[in-house]
Structure 1
Amino acid sequence: MAPPNGYSINSSPVDESEDGEPLIERDAVPSQCCSARLNLAFLMFLGFAVVYGLRVNLSVAMVAMVNVTDPKPAPNSSIVHACPLPAGMDNTSDTFSQPDGIPQYPWDSETQGWLLGAFFFGYLCTQIPGGYLSGHYGGRLFFGLGVLGTAVLTLLTPLAAQMGIYWLFALRALEGFGEGVTFPTMMAMWARWAPPLERSRLMTLSGSGANFGAFLSLPLTGYICETLGWPAVFYLCGSAGCLWAFFWFVFVSDDPRTHRRISEEEKDYIISSIGPQGTGHGWSVPLLPILLSVPMWAIIICQMCSNWSYYTLLTSLPTYMNNILHFDLKSNGFLSALPYLGAWIASTLSGILADSLIERKVFSVTTVRKIFTLAGVLPGAAFLVAVGYSGCSHILTITFLTLSTTIGGTMACGVYINQIDIAPRYAGFLLGITNTFGTIPGVLAPIVTGYFTEEHTLAGWRMVFWLAAGLNVGGALVYTLFGTGKIQPWAVTEEEATEVEKNRSTSIVT
């Protein structure tokens, strides 16, 4: 059965044989202003801002939680700094004072790397189940509980740190377990809510909350650590997550069909433009065709490679600012946040531009996804390498890091939303698979960085940046060769297949 507007989900804005997108007349499109779909995007934006704040606060707080850079220096030796210390800074320790009664811990760089990577051990476990269940039931409950659960656990962080590193490691892994459902459920919800010609802007708006959360959390964490002590960071961030959950459960619905405040005009537009792909996929999924899909593996490889650099910076950049460049904790948080401000702006604007190119038939969906992926990776990798050769220049380091991450933000409307192009109905499940693979760098990158930078040298950090840039470029090239924006045969519903066959028979008779 074709949608009421007469257009099929498999019709392309460029050509009927091209990427599977519907063509909707612009005068039939309800305004996004104050719409239910835009409200959903805004609440998702805030949700991702919260969870990324919960995710990265340990990266900055770690600087205050650790009382020495290296708790076991060689006897009768002084610490050799890669860059000269600012005037007035102690020459033997990078210790940051805390208010009276606030504990600090003698964790070496290897221990810190394991603690920063602990989150991702749990994060790996719930990606696929979260995507699968949200694709069947809807994502509202899973997204909300994922954020709320992580927030509640964050409140217990100071207690876990006091009990020991194993307790803190387990707590961070549990936080990752709760937060792992968020991105797959987002994709599953947009499969039901996002009209195909608005996918890029709605999904990049909601997903850009991650960069905004990192931008906001990093400087605030530094400020709170120095004024109130590092435990306050986790109490405040956890409380913010609990408050957000209240608004989410009150105002969000799984499906436009069940939303209590949506207009009939908007509901009809969303349902008709998405068609049969906007329904749940049931209990069965075409697992074998998915695992044998070349476009699917192109997404997996590209996301794994690009996530290595993202997670390296997300978890280890504050340490680099402190141990190498010797910024004070407040400046550390603010300057670490600048790249994510740029990425937030770039991803939001690129989503608008990508939809415009598709809507105006300038490029096919496949071409748009590849253009924005390459545009984010190639210059971003070059600037990342340049960071390693900036030496002790604060200005050059911050400039190159900001440019690298800002430009990388354009990937948000490239490979990172490609799952909904190739299989809208299974988008949440696919994102669960790709994000599971994509989270492996989150586990490994902080650990590898800890090993490379154990001596706190510029050469060690240069290896970190070269590795991240090389993986980034390699993944983008794989995606350019094998990626696509066309809906895959195994993702076509029976209803759509019947409609296509009927149209083909009619054409032959005619």
Structure 2
Amino acid sequence: MDNQLHPKKVRGFCSFRYGLAVLLHFCNVVIAAQRVCLNLTMVAMVNRTDPQDLTNTSAKTEMDYVKNPVYNWSPDIQGIIFSSIFYGILAIQIPVGYLSGIYSIKKMVGSALFLSSVLSLFIPRAAQVGKTLIIVCRVAQGMAQGTVSTAQHEMWIKWAPPLERGRLTSICLSGFMLAPFIVLLVSGFICDLLGWPMVFYIFGAYGCVLCLIWFVLVYDDPKDHPCISVNEKEYIISSLAQQASSSRQSLPIKAMLKSLPLWAISLNGFAFLWTNTLLVTYTPTFINTKLHVDIKQNGLLSGLPYLFACICGLLAGQMSDYFLSRNIFNILTIRKLFTTLGLISPVIFSMCLLYLSFNFYSTVIFLTLANATTSFCLGGGLINALDIAPRYYGFLKAVTSVIGMIGGISCSTVTGLILSQDPEFSWHKIFFLMAGINVTSITFYLIFAKGEIQEWATERQNTRL
């Protein structure tokens, strides 16, 4: 990686490759917003007062119920509705990872974005029909969103020069971190002013508009784009000249299973999703337990870390590419550095939460830093598969995402059990468990991670399934 061709760089954020990254950023914002907004609207959708409250309807006008319909869904049904979208995402990952190396990424991402947006528009009507239909809609929406989040990585095989992979991928992936901040910031106001169905209508319409822009502006390969400048096209193509050909071959499954660098990336993904899920899902619970603030303050404080996480993610991408372009560090050192920052920093700040946070401000600062610093992984192990096997990046990203999601689902289950069984020392157990997983993962990664294309991912590889 250190001795790659260095053609004349086409500078400026007005280039098409940066435009593609920004467009993907907003696509990720909208699909994440469509996913997360239900977490907040559920408060307005469900009758959370006395179960006999439906007999007291005289206090509410017919217009109130048209604007904000209320349903009697039990907590276990709500949990199924919340989790259903993740089962759709999980189920589609590996099939999409394989197919993304065969079919048009433009069509796959655009069609899936449109489907997710249409389903978002349909959610309020599905809720009126019944809980079964809304669960089916959320599973289908998860499959559509899983297609967008997985297939988009294949785009960078042809569009991202090696010296710009960190910043381009961090720009688009930071959309997943910015979305919850936006949702927490605006959805409450939309529910109060326009009714909770408008949250789904607004984000659904936004997705449909983005879908139209996507189909007009995006092409799978820079050499086919009618508007890209000749200089930028030559720069991208020449930058990728020494990279293995992107022609599809049979997946070398046995070699992949024996690859310790790939296992290091997978374990890193598991630890990242465990940490991210813990901090994202249980931040409101922690704030409520430790700070005892009202729901509005809780929403603001819970959303604040997402903004800083987005900033840290963008910073990681810029810094990783700066170090590489200036030959300050080689690619392997850069990946190890940002992976270490992304997994160890949350551990440090979580320990500070337990032992050094003595007032409101210190708690908020340490909690925000613990959440935000996980984003440094965007410049590390989360894109390392593009370094070691660009030919199979889409498939490998899907596989590592599945392993990561297993970590996220396991984290939610285990954390819930700990909180219910040991209220007094639960947070100590939760954060020390996270620390053990992260330290184990980073140790394995530092020992076995690689930065160069692996032998099984080269042009001459003929291994069959």
TM-score past 0.5 threshold = yes
Report the Cα distance in structure 1 between the residues aligned to 2:23 and 2:210, rounded to whole angstroms: 8
Residue from 201, 204, 207 that aligns with 2:170:
204
- Is structure 2 residue 13 aligned with structure 1 residue 33? yes
Report the Cα distance in structure 2 between the residues aligned to 1:71 and 1:316, rounded to whole angstroms: 27
Counterpart mapping for 1:45-84 below 5 A: 45-68=25-48
Residue in structure 2 matched with residue 242 of structure 1 by the alignment: 208
Counterpart mapping for 1:143-182 below 5 A: 143-182=109-148
What runs of 5+ residues in structure 1 fail to find an aligned partner?
Answer: 1-11, 17-21, 73-98, 496-510
- Is structure 2 residue 223 aligned with structure 1 residue 257? yes
Counterpart mapping for 1:108-507 below 5 A: 111-275=77-241, 277=243, 280-282=246-248, 284-318=250-284, 320-321=286-287, 325=291, 327-387=293-353, 394-454=360-420, 457=423, 459-494=425-460
- Checking the alignment, whether the CA contact within 8 Å between 1:71 and 1:107 is kept in structure 2 is no
What runs of 5+ residues in structure 2 fail to find an aligned partner?
Answer: 53-62
Cα distance change on mapping 1:217 and 1:276 into 2, 3 Å: same
Cα distance change on mapping 1:320 and 1:381 into 2, 3 Å: same
Q: CA deviation at 1:268?
A: 1.2
Report the Cα distance in structure 2 between the residues aligned to 1:49 and 1:297, rounded to whole angstroms: 29
Report the Cα distance in structure 1 between the residues aligned to 2:431 and 2:51, rounded to whole angstroms: 26
Q: CA deviation at 1:120?
A: 1.3
- In structure 1, what residue type is equivalent to 2:346? G
Could you tell which deviates more after superposition, 464-473 or 378-387? 464-473
Report the Cα distance in structure 1 between the residues aligned to 2:363 and 2:192, rounded to whole angstroms: 24
Residue in structure 2 matched with residue 81 of structure 1 by the alignment: none
Report the Cα distance in structure 1 between the residues aligned to 2:121 and 2:292, rounded to whole angstroms: 29
- Checking the alignment, whether the CA contact within 8 Å between 2:117 and 2:203 is kept in structure 1 is yes
Cα distance change on mapping 1:461 and 1:51 into 2, 3 Å: farther
Q: CA deviation at 1:381?
A: 1.7
Q: CA deviation at 1:313?
A: 3.3
Which has the larger share of helix?
A: 2
Report the Cα distance in structure 1 between the residues aligned to 2:438 and 2:49, rounded to whole angstroms: 30
Cα distance change on mapping 1:447 and 1:117 into 2, 3 Å: farther
Cα distance change on mapping 1:453 and 1:171 into 2, 3 Å: farther
Cα distance change on mapping 1:135 and 1:406 into 2, 3 Å: same
Q: CA deviation at 1:304?
A: 1.0
Report the Cα distance in structure 2 between the residues aligned to 1:332 and 1:114, rounded to whole angstroms: 24
Could you tell which deviates more after superposition, 219-228 or 334-343? 219-228
Q: CA deviation at 1:459?
A: 4.3
Report the Cα distance in structure 1 between the residues aligned to 2:115 and 2:244, rounded to whole angstroms: 28
- In structure 1, what residue type is equivalent to 2:102? H
Q: CA deviation at 1:250?
A: 0.6
- In structure 2, what residue type is equivalent to 1:364? N
Identity %: 39
Report the Cα distance in structure 2 between the residues aligned to 1:185 and 1:398, rounded to whole angstroms: 36
Report the Cα distance in structure 1 between the residues aligned to 2:360 and 2:123, rounded to whole angstroms: 32
Report the Cα distance in structure 1 between the residues aligned to 2:77 and 2:292, rounded to whole angstroms: 21
Residue in structure 2 matched with residue 23 of structure 1 by the alignment: 5
Could you tell which deviates more after superposition, 61-70 or 219-228? 61-70
Q: CA deviation at 1:366?
A: 0.8
* 1:138-167 Cα deviation digits (max 9, x unpaired): 421112222222121122223334444443
**Could you list the runs of 4 or more consecutive aligned residues of structure 1 that deviate by over 6 angstroms after TM superposition?**
69-72, 389-392
- Checking the alignment, whether the CA contact within 8 Å between 1:142 and 1:181 is kept in structure 2 is yes
Corresponding pairs, count: 450
* 1:60-100 Cα deviation digits (max 9, x unpaired): 2233334439989xxxxxxxxxxxxxxxxxxxxxxxxxx92
- Checking the alignment, whether the CA contact within 8 Å between 2:245 and 2:459 is kept in structure 1 is no
Report the Cα distance in structure 1 between the residues aligned to 2:289 and 2:199, rounded to whole angstroms: 21
* 1:176-215 Cα deviation digits (max 9, x unpaired): 1111122332221001110101111111111111112222
- In structure 2, what residue type is equivalent to 1:121? Y
- Checking the alignment, whether the CA contact within 8 Å between 1:147 and 1:178 is kept in structure 2 is yes
Q: TM-score w.r.t. structure 1 length?
A: 0.80
Q: TM-score w.r.t. structure 2 length?
A: 0.88
Cα distance change on mapping 1:466 and 1:169 into 2, 3 Å: farther
* Aligned-partner SS, 2:451: coil
Could you tell which deviates more after superposition, 378-387 or 244-253? 378-387
Cα distance change on mapping 1:135 and 1:270 into 2, 3 Å: same
Residue in structure 1 matched with residue 55 of structure 2 by the alignment: none
Report the Cα distance in structure 2 between the residues aligned to 1:437 and 1:397, rounded to whole angstroms: 31
Report the Cα distance in structure 2 between the residues aligned to 1:237 and 1:392, rounded to whole angstroms: 40
Report the Cα distance in structure 2 between the residues aligned to 1:237 and 1:471, rounded to whole angstroms: 36
Report the Cα distance in structure 1 between the residues aligned to 2:246 and 2:5, rounded to whole angstroms: 23
- Checking the alignment, whether the CA contact within 8 Å between 1:117 and 1:443 is kept in structure 2 is no
Cα distance change on mapping 1:409 and 1:426 into 2, 3 Å: same
- In structure 1, what residue type is equivalent to 2:236? I
Report the Cα distance in structure 1 between the residues aligned to 2:448 and 2:311, rounded to whole angstroms: 29
- In structure 2, what residue type is equivalent to 1:50? V
Q: CA deviation at 1:168?
A: 3.1
Report the Cα distance in structure 2 between the residues aligned to 1:386 and 1:141, rounded to whole angstroms: 47
Q: CA deviation at 1:270?
A: 0.8
Cα distance change on mapping 1:431 and 1:221 into 2, 3 Å: same
